Structure 1
Amino acid sequence: MSVALGLSVPPHTPHAISVSLPTWRDNVGYEEGEARVVDTMVTGYPRFFIHLTIRKLAAACEAKYAVAGEQCLLFPTQFIAAACRDFVAGRSAAQPRLVSTADLHVVLFPAHVLPIAKEFWQHTGLGISSRLAEKCLSRLLDDDTPKHGHNRHYSVKGKPTSPLIPQDVPADLLSSDHATYLEERYGRNLPISAAASAKRALRRRVAGTLVVDSSCDESVGPSSRGVANVTEEDVFLFPCGMAAIWNAHRLAREVRPDGKSVCFGFPYTDTLKILQKWGPGAHFFGNGLDEDIETFEALLESESKVDPSKPPVLALFTEFPSNPLLRSANLPRLRVLADKYGFLIVVDETIGNFVNVEVLPYADVVVSSLTKVFSGASNVMGGSLVLNPKGKHYTALRSRLGETYEDTYFGEDAIYMERNSRDFKHRIKVIDENTNAICEFLRSRSVAGGSSSQHIAIKNVFYPKYITRENYDLCRVKKPSSPSPPPSEGEGYGGLFSLTFTSESASKAFFDALPCYKGPSLGTNFTLACPYTILAHFGELVWAEGFGVERGLVRVSVGMEERAVLVAAFGEAVEAAEEVVRVEAGV
């Protein structure tokens, strides 16, 4: 069985970024606001679920500053708080108030506009960290209150039993201080005073210049990013990946003539929301296939005639590959158009990751969610923005960021991210090989893979090895000792894939039977699955299906478990799905 509904994933992790939603019904219940689900949740993905510690701190701020039943959200700088205030004021008749303290900037507003304020929190990812909230709360507690007291919200309702769920937490510690045990004893963290050094190490690691990948090592060399002269000065850290995307869009609007942006390919939901809600809007090419480039080029030609004095679009945003269909845009073709028409290209490399792909040569800006495989531990958020020093607009972009960049990445989060990411290259290799083995097995049992079974449950396997592979291979990292492309069939295609099924009941059966963690997020060191379309597009299922994102789609992020155990576990889930197909066929 999986972790109990509503508990953190992984268990005993006070700052976990995922929550257990172990069945299809639980995920639907979460989206519908069913009390059975939401009342048991002790955590969730931080941009969607405001951490209990942050809620407690917000309640203290409301008690001190609110009038007439106001509610509030908390931000790390005055600039961000003002941006939230302006967002809410622009979409309602409310006029939010700002209150600033040493560590917090409080945005107060009438309770009825809380959903609008939460849109800002979700889309931008700029709210305060749960660890910062913990620090602020500790100052409010009495001196005799233990700093790390037992928290009933993280109690364990039965130890998880599954071949894919770690069993390495000693039983005698399950009721002790899990935060201290897991985050300090196993943490191997730098002292908090070393936060600046941790951030420097992170920037060098992201730049690909850290020669010896260890704690704040000073040894640097040429970048492995595909653009040789990238340095840590070209890397900017943010509290999460979406904050990096929001700031990339803001940067583009400040440096270039304003205009509509382009979202190329079906993206993670908040990227499109940012492009639509800030500025004049966006053109959306939801399939992101080569034929869409021809349509896009026609748009560019048409728009350039309207006002020849400025670029026809501001910037093109694309994921490489996309989430959840794992499609890869033809970046060289898009680069040619960008150079011809003068717009920026922003590439989100989170899923591809720079160990596997080199996208910087084709981009002006590369963003990534460090929360995912770069960290792997599912206990801290982070994001990065990298400028291409060879880019045509580099000087303007770098100059503007130098003037406006605010380091809002909380030091303690940087400490954990630095610790987690030291071995990310090794982890990615293991995860890639595991994912390839699983996808080969699943594809052999699918319609797309030519299965001859009479009761096929899997329709298609979406994985860069099978989906727009020619575009992915254009950017796939070529190993120094290998010809191009690399000879290994399982090398460099990442750790994420999605499945579609021959019926919705088969989808549900597969998901419910899969013996791994179930919850939001990806890139974790452990296998993590979710019914992606239900979670990300529950209110727009028909719209999503119009772009091939079926409501029964299951997305899987593969971990580092033993490969044979993983394949066997997925075999169990396939058998459960195929049994449903047999029953429905009357066999």
Structure 2
Amino acid sequence: MNKEFFKPIECGQTLPVNNVHAVSVSMPTIQDVIDYEEQTPEILEKIQSGYPRFILHPYLKKLGLFIKEKYLISDAYEVVVLSSKKAVELISDKYFIHNKIEINEPFGVILVQKGTCQLQKVLTYIQHVGCNLSSRLAEEYLYNEGLINTLHKEEVESKDTAKDIIIQTLCDAYSQPKENICLAPSGMNAIYSVIRGLNSIQSHNGRNILVQFGWLYLDTMNIVNHHYSQQKIFSDITDLDLLEEYLKENGLKISAIVTELPTNPLLTSVDIKRLRKLCDKYNIPLVIDTTFATPYNLDLRDYADIFVESLTKFACGNADVLMGAIILNKKHNLSHMTTEFFRHCESVYVKDIQRLAFEIKDYKTRVKKISSNTKQLVKYFETCSYIDEVFYCFDKNNKENYSQTIIDDNSYTGVVSVTFNKPIKEVYDRLNFAKGPSLGTEFTLLMPYTYLAHYDMIVSKEGNEFLKKISLPIDLIRISVGIEPINEIIKEFERIKD
């Protein structure tokens, strides 16, 4: 029965399986991951789609070729489609690209001259800012032009009610008014808009240093690098003494402190009460990425000034919608600045909203089931001889930091990271769970985190030393726990005992 419950998924298959709008892709072996990172021709033939900010969706490729033919664009240029004309202006101004093209389309188009270094810079910046064109918009466009024969069938909510369903769910979850919530086409676009807003507002006050507290998600740090000439990184989220000493001298120069709670992928937590007191002392806005915590596991309303959440994860639960949200905390008097924080967000395509509205109705139920499974899986791991280290949000070193913020006894964030006392290939390749990027899915999803997020550091001596410095194990496997029966999840891990 165990082998029937979790079945191998071939490399390159979408996750979820057979879903053209999937945001993850199967990489079932460590060698697949290495080949992907090294971009071997064999793996590129297998992996045609993946996380939309990293891999160009097949529909976007097809759309780019169609636009090139439709507008008779010279082969000297590469066509890049974007979420909007506003995004085109952003990219054009940043990289001094002014290859004019007059179009009448419901999206943006930018022309990048071939044979220059600009193309990779543009694609990387789009990845960081999250202004990718929706695959559902591309799908509908191609269908209407007769370039594809079918539309993907999925359950959705009505156009008339979909956005209200999402906003109201977030209003209830975060206890905030509707006007304090803004949707974005990805979590990174939400982060980008907040950082741009902070930069614009705080620079007038002489506050031009942004503090990144903890080793944050890579693209969050990249956005900061793009928009702040001065930033300070504190990689150890548990060392508030170091932060406090820094603030004694620089507190009035800080535009904001950005952190994740808990951190990705080591699930470390900050002493949130003490951090809030430091922010209050120097009047520093605190931005918290709550994607891992979710509003249902940790109650952070007394602490964050601004919440940012990737709705692609637990709110969606099916890894088939890219979306994010900014939530301003009414308790911390930033409501009068909503325009500045929200105006940099790209618009969200209506069909993405309709799909997420259907999925988000199960958000709370999904999170509670995942939390319960996570708690039981952690207990199992703590008895396993083949496990080296287990990282989860209630680890014994940080449990006291959550004592006043947990909502109930089962509030384990739905991610566990582990290292094994066996080679990673032996463990990862043998398990039949879905394996690929992303998290927050109803199906258990494994990711060799350091291999996919920091492969360049794995293959260099300096990178290895840096990974040791920030205590990030190379052979770490991040487990996004699903809603499957917990006994089946545990049975699958039992397969690697021998």
Task: Tell me the TM-score normalized by structure 2.
Answer: 0.92
The one-letter code of the counterpart of 1:557 is: S
What is the aligned partner in structure 2 of residue 200 from structure 1? Answer: 164
Q: After TM superposition, give the deviation of residue 382 of structure 1 in Å.
A: 1.0
Q: Which residue of structure 1 aligns with residue 461 of structure 2?
A: none
Q: Which residue of 1 aligns with 2:249?
A: 302
Residue 398 of structure 1 and its aligned partner are, at CA, apart by 2.1
- Name the counterpart of 1:260: 209
Change (3 A) 1:99 1:391: farther
CA contact (8 A) 1:125 1:242 kept: yes
1:49 is aligned to 55
In the alignment, structure 1 residue 347 sits paired with structure 2 residue 293:
no
In structure 1, which of residues 319, 322, 344 is the aligned counterpart of residue 260 of structure 2?
Answer: 319
For 1:207, what is the secondary structure of its paired residue? helix
Q: Distance in 1 between matches of 2:394 and 2:250?
A: 36
- Say if 2:105 is the partner of 1:102: yes
- Using the TM superposition, give the Cα deviation of residue 401 of structure 1 relative to its aligned residue in structure 2, in angstroms: 4.2
Q: What amino acid maps onto 1:553 in structure 2?
A: L
Q: Does 1:59 align with 2:65?
A: yes
CA contact (8 A) 2:328 2:334 kept: no
Q: Distance in 1 between matches of 2:107 and 2:412?
A: 42
Q: Which runs of 5+ in 2 are unaligned?
A: 1-6, 459-463
Cross-structure match for 1:135: 140
Q: Please list the CA deviations of residues 323-361 of structure 1 after superposition, one character each: whole Å capped at 9, or x if unmatched.
A: 100011122212212122122111000001001111232
Change (3 A) 1:572 1:99: farther
Q: Is the 8 A contact 1:324 1:532 kept in 2?
A: yes
Question: Over the residues paired in the alignment, what is the CA RMSD in angstroms?
Answer: 1.9
Tell me the secondary structure at the aligned position of residue 459 of structure 1: strand
Query: 1:145-294 residue pairs with structure 2 within 5 A?
Result: 146-148=149-151, 179-180=152-153, 183=154, 187=155, 189-191=156-158, 193-194=159-160, 197-208=161-172, 224-225=173-174, 230-257=176-203, 258-289=207-238, 291=239, 293-294=240-241
Native 8 Å contact 1:200 1:232 kept in 2? no
Equivalent in 75, 78, 81 of residue 82 of structure 2: 75
How many angstroms does 1:39 deviate by?
1.3
Provide, for residues 223-247 of structure 1, a one-character-per-residue CA deviation record: whole Å limited to 9, x for no partner.
x53xx5x211111001111111111
Give yes or no for contact 1:526–1:561 (8 Å, CA) kept in 2: yes
| Amino acid in the other structure paired with 1:495 | G
1:33 aligned residue (39, 43, 60): 39
Distance 1:492 1:299 in 2: 33
- The alignment-based identity, stated in percent, is 28
Does 1:12 find its partner at 2:18?
yes
Q: 1:572 offset after TM fit, Å?
A: 1.2
* Structure 2 match to 1:426: 365
Is contact 1:532-1:553 (8 Å) kept? yes
In structure 2, the residue matched to 1:440 is 379
Contact 2:131 2:346 survives alignment (8 Å): no
Match of 1:564 among 458, 477, 487: 487
| Secondary structure, aligned partner of 1:418 | helix
After TM superposition, the structure 1 = structure 2 runs for residues 414-563 of structure 1, keeping only pairs within 5 Å, are 414-445=353-384, 456-466=385-395, 468-477=398-407, 486=408, 488=409, 491-502=410-421, 505=423, 507-541=424-458, 542=464, 543-563=466-486
Structure 2 CA distance for partners of 1:53 and 1:511, relative to 1, 3 Å: same
Query: Which residue is 1:398 aligned to?
Result: 338
Contact 1:103 1:136 in 2 (8 A): no
Q: Which residue identity is paired with 1:260? A: I
- TM-superposed deviation, 1:501: 2.8
| 1:472 shift after superposition | 2.9
Which has the higher Rg, Structure 1 or Structure 2? 1
Please say if 1:336 is aligned against 2:277.
Answer: yes
Tell me the SS of whatever aligns to 1:568.
helix
**1:345-391 C-alpha deviation (Å, 9 max, x unpaired):** 11000001001111232111100000101110111111110001111
> Displacement of 1:532 after TM fit?
0.4
CA distance in 1, matches of 2:103, 2:86: 11
Structure 1's consecutive aligned runs of 4 or more residues displaced over 6 angstroms after TM superposition are none
Q: CA deviation at 1:68?
A: 5.0
Q: Residues 473, 75 of structure 1: CA spacing in aligned structure 2 closer, same or farther, 3 A cutoff?
A: farther
SS for the counterpart of 1:3 is coil
TM value normalised by structure 1: 0.78
Deviation at 1:551, TM superposition (A): 0.9
Asked if the contact 1:81/1:98 (under 8 Å) is kept, the reply is: no
Once the two structures are TM-superposed, the CA of residue 99 in structure 1 deviates from its matched residue by 4.7
The whole-number CA distance in structure 1 between the counterparts of 2:346 and 2:437 is 27
Q: Is the alpha carbon distance of 1:560 and 1:138 closer, same or farther for their aligned partners in structure 2, counting shifts above 3 Å?
A: same
Distance of 1:239 and 1:393 partners within structure 2:
22
Aligned with residue 300 of structure 2, among 340, 355, 359: 359
Instruction: Please report how far the alpha carbon of residue 252 of structure 1 lies from its aligned counterpart in structure 2 after TM superposition.
Output: 0.8
SS in 2 for 1:324: coil
Q: Distance in 1 between matches of 2:494 and 2:269?
A: 28
**Contact 2:64/2:81, CA 8 A, preserved across alignment:** yes
On the 8 A contact 1:263/1:318 being kept in 2, the answer is yes
Distance 2:101 2:257 in 1: 34
Number of equivalences? 479
1:523, 1:138 → 2: CA distance?
A: 31
- Output the CA distance in 2 between the equivalents of 1:499 and 1:98: 50
1:19 Cα deviation from its structure 2 partner: 0.3
Checking the alignment, whether the CA contact within 8 Å between 1:85 and 1:97 is kept in structure 2 is: no
Distance 1:371 1:117 in 2: 23
Secondary structure (helix, strand or coil) at the match of 1:497 reads: strand
Distance 1:22 1:570 in 2: 15
Aligned mate of 2:325, from 384, 389, 413: 384
Partner of 1:175: none
Q: Which amino acid aligns with 1:367?
A: V
Greater shift, 15-24 or 67-76, is seen at 67-76
What stretches of structure 1 of length at least 5 have no aligned partner?
149-178, 209-223, 305-310, 446-455, 478-485, 577-587
Q: Distance in 1 between matches of 2:469 and 2:143?
A: 49
Contact (CA 8 Å) 2:87, 2:131: kept in 1 or not? Answer: yes
Aligned counterpart, 1:161? none
